[in-house]
Amino acid sequence: MRAVRARDGVVLRLMGTDPRSRRSAEDMDDSNHRSTLSGLATVVVVLGVLVGAGKFFRGQPAIVGRDAPDFSLSLVANGSDLGGDGKALSVSQLRGHPVLLDFWATWCRYCRAEAPIVDALSKRWHDKGVVFVGVSTDRPEEGDPGQFARAHGMTFPIVSDALGTASRAYGIESLPTVVILSSAGKVVAVRAGVTGDDELERLISEAL
């Protein structure tokens, strides 16, 4: 038996026959017939699993519509004007404001492509009370998000989620992922992958 891990996370197990077994031609024919039927049944089951998985992954993440999980993470760039001690930032601290959480990492090229879009939007929506927070998932050996933010002129607050606390709470599975919170502290949208300016504008407008 060997297992092959598919790209969508589904594990297919392929059954092999034992080459040491010796059977008569009649036994072989009967066995081949049973194996063919078994193989067809396996294909049907696997296709059913894949179709079900596809429906699951196309659906809205389970967190949408729920209260936003709280976290308190160290500020590594910007955000000292948001209150508190200027050293940490929490979701509960931002209650009353629509919030965009941008989960990213310095090593992620798609995150780097999305960063200027998010930064421009943060400036555009600042006066309307929308708060943008970059949640860096970098571990210490992977990159320095504070240094990266300063070097690239990123102006919105950046917090470090090096231990993965916030990422696990929000069910983040890929980068970049944007999470939109309403001013009432509800998760209203989740978008994985690079999200364009127009789509982010729409999502933010709906959260107001």
160-177 tens-digit pLDDT: 999 999 999 999 999 999
Range of the domain at 96: 72-207
Domain check: are 8 and 50 in the same one? yes
Computed on alpha carbons and rounded to an integer, the radius of gyration of the chain in Å comes to 24
- Provide the domain count of the chain: 2
Domain check: are 53 and 115 in the same one? no
CA within 13 Å, CB half, 28? 7
On whether residue 53 sits in a domain, the answer given is: yes
CATH number at 110 reads: 3.40.30.10
What are 120's two structure tokens? 């421009």
Cis status, amide bond into 140, omega within 30 of 0: no
What secondary structure does DSSP assign to 48-65, as a single string? HHHHHHHHHHHSPPTTTT
On whether residue 66 sits in a domain, the answer given is: no
Domain check: are 121 and 190 in the same one? yes
53-67, 70-84, 132-146, 194-208 — which is least confidently predicted?
53-67
What CA–CA distances, in Å, run from 122 to 12, 133, 168? 44, 9, 25
On whether residue 161 sits in a domain, the answer given is: yes
On whether residue 64 sits in a domain, the answer given is: no
So what's the pLDDT on residue 34?
Answer: 54
CA 46 centroid distance within chain? 26
160: β partners: 74, 136
Q: Which of 53, 55, 93, 57 is nearest to 72 (CA)?
A: 93
Domain check: are 181 and 145 in the same one? yes
Domain check: are 78 and 15 in the same one? no
Domain check: are 89 and 16 in the same one? no
Identify the DSSP state of 67: B
**Long-range CB contacts for residues 54-57, cutoff 8 Å, separation at least 24:** 54/8, 57/8
Give the tens place of pLDDT for each residue, 108-160: 999 999 999 999 999 999 999 999 999 999 999 999 999 999 999 999 999 99
17, 34, 58 - which closes a domain: 58
Look at strands 177-181 and 99-104 and give their pairing: antiparallel
Domain check: are 14 and 93 in the same one? no
Domain check: are 29 and 132 in the same one? no
Domain check: are 104 and 7 in the same one? no
pLDDT at 13 over 80: no
